[in-house]
Amino acid sequence: MGALQNLFVNLALFFRESMVNIGFSQLGIEATMDLVAGIGVLAVIAISALVLIYVERKVAGFIQVRLGPNRVGPKGTCQTVADALKLVGKEDIIPDRVDKVPFMIAPILFFAPAVLAFAIIPFGENMIPIDMNIGIFYFIAVCSLSTIPIIMAGWSSNNKYSLLGAMRSLAQSLSYEIPLVFSILGVVMITGSLQMSDIVAAQSDMWFIVTQPIAFLIYLIAGAAETNRPPFDLPEGESELVAGYMTEYSGMRWALFFLAEYAHLFIVSAMATTLFLGGWHGPILPSYIWFLLKTGFMIFILIWVRWTFPRIRIDQLLSLGWKFLLPLSLLNILITGVVLYII
Amino acid sequence: MKEVVDQGIKTQEIEVNFGPHHPSTHGVFRMVLTLDGENVRKVNPHVGYLHRGIEKLAEKRTYAQCVPFTDRLDYICSMTNNLAYVQTVEQLLDLEVPTRAEYIRVIVSELQRIINHCVFWATFGNDLGSQTALMYGFRDREMILDVFEELTGSRMTYSYMRIGGVAKDISDEQLKEIERIVDYMLDEALPEYHNLITGNEIFQARTKDIGILKPETAIDYGVTGPNLRASGVEYDVRKDQSYGIYDKFDFDVPTRDKGDTYSRYIVRLEEIEQSCLIIKQALNMIPEGKVQVKRVPKRPPDGSTYSSIESPKGELGFYLVSDGSKRPYRFRVRPPTFIHLMALEEMMIGEKVADAIVILGSIDIVLGEVDR
Amino acid sequence: MYGQGLLKGLATTLKEYFGGYTTQEYPDEYPNLPDTFHGSFELDVDKCVGCTVCDRNCPNSVIDLKINRGEDKKKEIVRFKVDLTRCQFCGLCTEGCPTNALKFNQEFELATYNKEDLILNLLAEKPTQTKPKKKKEVS
């Protein structure tokens, strides 16, 4: 069990030692290790996005009394691979009257924050890519970056649907960032640290969902809104705005948007696991398995919610954010502070 | 029409084209919306993208040959279209229909009403962003389609009604199957609809007090059917100008007072319930006998006639002018949804873009009937 | 309580999640079509008496048939074509047929690569049409 428990940690140690044996310089070793970690993170993102798309479609299928993808590969498991290949092979269409430079880099910039956020996620015991002492702060900063590419995409597309979608996205991000931060603040107050490893360690005997249930709910709602998941998918609300800021995109650029959306879904779920569900803590099974199980559960809840609820309207969304979630999160902080002071 | 509040901020209005190829215009309807931010300022509906000239085509065909064309008016509910046309011709010919045929007509047209309202529920849910509703509604519709397929041979364009009866007798197994479906609709499907969508707080927030149509305005525009009843006017052709054998059945006409999208939605779901009850009564009362008149006169006498039925979408009427020949001299359809579309402006102005879609969904249009 | 409806909706979808499916895996599974289904056309030439009721009943003049009267006054059908491009599949032709010679069959895959293929020649030797192997519905 111990070997499995530290599989990836030992793997990294083994690499490091073998490089020392070959006679690499200290700088070379660090550079190689960072490169390997970077590639590893990218692989995790790509694979998780592919798997998530398959899972989403399959769950949606089961909920909607149908089968979901079932043609390519056993039980349709290769469907997303086939779709991705198709999208890569498509012609890269850039409409005539778009603002070319922002149009072209927007999908790449949308993908970047997703990759950056993976740097601080504790995947398992001692398996955190970079354990920053301002981990949470970094996460919040990186997550709010994703609004700018959406505005870029919407503005440069030169399309009214895209513009409306981008404007909605801006309003949505502005109003949900604050409850999101405040909900995390409760956890930070209990832990007294912004470091991810400290937060996970603090939950070794009590998950924060028990002490901070309201914060968890606020985080879930605000997180769904941040990642434009239904019922908060107004920026791309299909029935009114066709596809919102993605209307003019096709082929690989569209696929990047799509992929990044699922990467964001993974990050929000992973952060929920880390902050409220005890991170990688769990009996018997290796830590990274526990982490994946909890994250998978969170993802299932988000998918389940998506395929159940109708879409909310923009003014209702804003009033929910400002008039309900914000006061509630402030109240939560107050209660947490009072309780901490008494104890 | 909501009051447009001038907020004293100078903003630029934009015009957005909704349709003809837009995910939620239910076909090829186009409306040009003038938007101030997210608010609708002007609505300009454009119809005619699906015009096939059915009224003109019918003038070149005999009375019996027109039946398949009526299928294609409102393709969601072909049965009631058939019935409305056939009934008008029978009125022109002064023809008596066998009792069993009358019962079959009631059963199939009430089943058709259930189908239409299932489709309405499904697409309305989809307009609001709940795609699961779409699948559930179509799943339940499928069962009735299977019965119709066995009865008529087609799944959507039935051409089942004949002048002086119906095309084919219904078997006892089919009647049993219909009874099973009706029980399923009442016991399982409708509670599920209410649990999934009606009770949902997001749904209620999205639909209540949106797109209000006052009873006076509704009557002025000639709005009929569930849309009128949602505004509080209790008018149902089945009750007020009873046709066929509807006076033998005991049923309620569900109404609401508010006239908002939620009322229009809930009235339709309650109509499913009432249709189920009518079918149950009809299944108990259906007699044995012929389903078609032996000889139907080919040439009606000179003259004109109008007759209408309560189609699932409203009052569907046919106006026929005969010049004594085999073919109708004039074949005119009074489509309910075309008239409902005219009242769109009253409901939409002052609402949000997202609501515009909900309002359009709530009046339940089918473009085949609007453009004819 | 606010939120009750949301939970009820979630319960509904979860129930359906474990509730099986209603769709068909079409090319593998074929639908069980009833006998009355309006598919493609079939003509029993021996039964046909050449009364042309089908032609006269058709709203769109889809049926193109030619009849020669032989010396012994027996009708001989020379041409019997159905133009599926304009056919509405309303069934008025088969309903009028006094001898049930013209019938619908259950063939519903009528898409072709050429428009000309849609004009059915019902007199021609039955081409050894590769009828879809009907798999029994998996219950």
- Asked if the Cβ–Cβ distance from A65 to B126 is below 8 Å, we say no
Nearest chain C residue (CA) to B198: C5
Question: A159 is in which domain, residue-wise?
Answer: 91-342
Say yes or no to pLDDT of C121 above 60: yes
- What are the tens digits of pLDDT across the range A321-340? 888 888 888 888 888 888 88
pLDDT at A252: 83
Task: Indicate whether B17 belongs to any domain.
Answer: no
- Asked if the Cβ–Cβ distance from C59 to B167 is below 8 Å, we say no
Q: How far does B22 lie from chain A, in Å, by closest CA?
A: 7
Task: Report the mean per-residue pLDDT for chain C.
Answer: 78
How big is the CA angle at A231 (ends A225 and A236), to the nearest 5 degrees?
Answer: 75
- What are the tens digits of pLDDT across the range B90-119? 888 888 888 888 888 888 888 899 999 999
Q: What is the mean pLDDT of residues B356-366?
A: 85
Task: Indicate whether A65 belongs to any domain.
Answer: no
How big is the CA angle at C18 (ends C17 and C22), to the nearest 5 degrees?
Answer: 75
Task: Indicate whether B66 belongs to any domain.
Answer: yes
Question: Which one of A139-153, A195-209, B81-95 scores highest in mean pLDDT?
Answer: B81-95
**Half-sphere exposure at residue A209, Cβ-oriented, CA atoms within 13 angstroms:** 12
A-contacting residues in C 16-45 (Cβ below 8 Å) = 16-23, 25
- What are the tens digits of pLDDT across the range C39-53? 888 888 778 787 888
Read off φ and ψ for residue B352, nearest 5 degrees. Answer: -85, 165
> For residue C68, what is the domain's CATH number?
3.30.70.3270
When mean pLDDT is compared across A244-248, B22-26, B224-228, the lowest value belongs to: B22-26
- CA torsion sign for B161, B166, B167, B170 is positive
Task: Inform me whether the C-beta atom of residue C9 falls under 8 Å from chain A C-beta atoms.
Answer: yes
Going by C-alpha positions, the residue among B16, B42, B52, B46 that lies closest to residue B28 is: B46
Task: Indicate whether B327 belongs to any domain.
Answer: yes
Q: What is the DSSP letter of B189?
A: I
Smallest Cβ distance to B23: which of A60, A242, A315?
A242
Smallest Cβ distance to B201: which of C2, C36, C95?
C2
CA gyration radius, chain C = 23
- What are the tens digits of pLDDT across the range B301-321? 888 889 888 888 888 889 989
- What are the tens digits of pLDDT across the range C7-40? 887 888 888 788 778 888 888 888 888 888 888 8
Task: Indicate whether B297 belongs to any domain.
Answer: yes
Name residue A147's beta-bridge partners: none
Percent of the residues in chain B that have a pLDDT greater than 70, as a whole number = 98
> For residue B99, what is the domain's CATH number?
1.10.645.10
Task: Indicate whether A238 belongs to any domain.
Answer: yes
Pair A56, A258: CB distance under 8 Å? no
Place of tokens 């969601």: B76
- Asked if the Cβ–Cβ distance from A311 to B357 is below 8 Å, we say no
**Half-sphere exposure at residue C85, Cβ-oriented, CA atoms within 13 angstroms:** 9
pLDDT at B1: 59
Nearest chain C residue (CA) to A306: C10
Nearest chain B residue (CA) to A62: B132
What residue type is assigned to position A203 of the chain?
Q
Read off φ and ψ for residue A125, nearest 5 degrees. Answer: -65, 125
Question: Which one of A130-134, B3-7, B288-292 scores highest in mean pLDDT?
Answer: B288-292
Task: Indicate whether C38 belongs to any domain.
Answer: yes
A·B CB contacts under 8 A:
86
Pair B362, B339: CB distance under 8 Å? no
Task: Indicate whether A136 belongs to any domain.
Answer: yes
Nearest chain B residue (CA) to C88: B68
Going across the sheet that includes C75-83, the strands are: C63-69, C75-83, C119-121
pLDDT at B205: 84
pLDDT at C136: 47
Residue B19 to residue A245: CA distance in whole angstroms: 18
pLDDT at C36: 83
- Residues of B in Cβ contact (< 8 Å) with A241: 353
The distance in angstroms from the start CA to the end CA of chain A is 38
Q: What is the mean pLDDT of residues A14-33?
A: 76
Residue A67 to residue A113: CA distance in whole angstroms: 34
Task: Indicate whether C129 belongs to any domain.
Answer: no
Longest Cα–Cα distance of chain B, Å, equals 74
Q: What is the pTM of this model?
A: 0.85
- Asked if the Cβ–Cβ distance from B195 to C9 is below 8 Å, we say yes
Number of structural domains (chain A) is: 1
Going by C-alpha positions, the residue among B57, B336, B144, B110 that lies closest to residue C88 is: B57
Task: Inform me whether the C-beta atom of residue C132 falls under 8 Å from chain A C-beta atoms.
Answer: no
Going by C-alpha positions, the residue among B182, B113, B105 that lies closest to residue B143 is: B182
Tell me the two tokens of residue A263.
């990467």
When mean pLDDT is compared across A68-77, A321-330, B221-230, C72-81, the lowest value belongs to: C72-81
Question: B230 is in which domain, residue-wise?
Answer: 55-366
pLDDT at A237: 67
Residue B41 to residue B36: CA distance in whole angstroms: 7
Say yes or no to pLDDT of A232 above 60: yes
Tell me the two tokens of residue C68.
């020669």
> In chain B, which residue ranges form alpha helices assigned H by DSSP?
54-58, 67-71, 78-93, 99-127, 131-152, 172-184, 190-193, 201-207, 215-221, 225-230, 237-240, 261-285, 336-342, 344-348, 353-362, 367-371
Tell me the two tokens of residue A46.
């790509």
Task: Report the mean per-residue pLDDT for chain A.
Answer: 81
Residues in chain B whose Cβ is within 8 Å of chain A: 14, 16, 22-24, 35, 38, 125-136, 139, 196-197, 200, 202-203, 205-206, 352-357
Residue B145 to residue B156: CA distance in whole angstroms: 8
More confident residue, A301 or A236: A301
Q: What is the DSSP string of C5-34?
A: HHHHHHHHHHHHHTS------TTTS-----
Q: What is the mean pLDDT of residues A301-326?
A: 84
pLDDT at C59: 87
pLDDT at C139: 42
- Asked if the Cβ–Cβ distance from B199 to C36 is below 8 Å, we say no
Say yes or no to pLDDT of A33 above 80: no
Place of tokens 């908002």: B260
Task: Indicate whether A194 belongs to any domain.
Answer: yes
Task: Report the mean per-residue pLDDT for chain B.
Answer: 85
Say yes or no to pLDDT of B244 above 50: yes
Smallest Cβ distance to B139: which of C22, C37, C58?
C22
Q: What is the mean pLDDT of residues A77-82?
A: 84
pLDDT at B165: 84
- Asked if the Cβ–Cβ distance from A66 to C10 is below 8 Å, we say no
Q: What is the DSSP string of C100-135?
A: S-EEE-S------SSGGGGEEETTS------PPP-P
Chain A interface, best mutation among C6, C23, C25, C138, by max A CB count within 10 A: C23
Number of structural domains (chain C) is: 1
Chains that touch C (3 or more CB pairs under 8 A): A, B
Task: Indicate whether B86 belongs to any domain.
Answer: yes
- What are the tens digits of pLDDT across the range A178-211? 888 888 888 888 888 888 777 777 777 777 777 7
What residue type is assigned to position B42 of the chain?
K
- Asked if the Cβ–Cβ distance from A310 to B125 is below 8 Å, we say yes
- What are the tens digits of pLDDT across the range B114-164? 999 999 888 888 888 888 888 888 888 888 888 888 888 888 888 888 888
Chain C interface, best mutation among B59, B65, B134, B169, by max C CB count within 10 A: B65
Pair B315, B237: CB distance under 8 Å? yes
Place of tokens 């294609």: B72
Task: Indicate whether A222 belongs to any domain.
Answer: yes
Task: Indicate whether C67 belongs to any domain.
Answer: yes
Name residue B33's beta-bridge partners: B16, B43
Say yes or no to pLDDT of A9 above 50: yes
**Half-sphere exposure at residue C22, Cβ-oriented, CA atoms within 13 angstroms:** 15
Smallest Cβ distance to A307: which of C13, C23, C25?
C13
pLDDT at A190: 82
What b/e readout covers A160-172, taking b as 16+ CB neighbours within 10 angstroms? bbbbbbbbbbbbb
Task: Indicate whether B134 belongs to any domain.
Answer: yes
C-contacting residues in B 102-161 (Cβ below 8 Å) = 132, 136, 139, 142, 149-154, 157, 159
- Asked if the Cβ–Cβ distance from B65 to C57 is below 8 Å, we say yes
Q: What is the mean pLDDT of residues A248-252?
A: 81
Chain B interface, best mutation among A239, A304, A309, by max B CB count within 10 A: A239
Going by C-alpha positions, the residue among B130, B62, B76, B102 that lies closest to residue B245 is: B102
Q: What's the pLDDT band for C138 if we cut at 50, 70, 90? A: very low
Residue A163 to residue B9: CA distance in whole angstroms: 20
pLDDT at C125: 56
Question: C47 is in which domain, residue-wise?
Answer: 30-121
pLDDT at C4: 78
Q: Helices then strands (H, E): number in chain C?
A: 3, 5
DSSP run (H or E) holding C4: helix C4-17
> In chain A, which residue ranges form alpha helices assigned H by DSSP?
2-5, 7-22, 26-63, 79-89, 100-117, 135-144, 147-156, 160-191, 196-202, 208-211, 213-226, 238-241, 251-276, 287-306, 314-319, 326-342
Chains that touch B (3 or more CB pairs under 8 A): A, C
- Asked if the Cβ–Cβ distance from C20 to A65 is below 8 Å, we say yes
Chain A interface, best mutation among C12, C16, C18, C24, by max A CB count within 10 A: C16
Residue A53 to residue A87: CA distance in whole angstroms: 14
Tell me the two tokens of residue C18.
């474990």
Task: Indicate whether B223 belongs to any domain.
Answer: yes
Q: What is the mean pLDDT of residues A120-137?
A: 77
- Asked if the Cβ–Cβ distance from A63 to C25 is below 8 Å, we say no
Say yes or no to pLDDT of A25 above 80: no
Number of structural domains (chain B) is: 1
Task: Indicate whether B4 belongs to any domain.
Answer: no
Chains that touch A (3 or more CB pairs under 8 A): B, C
Task: Indicate whether A247 belongs to any domain.
Answer: yes
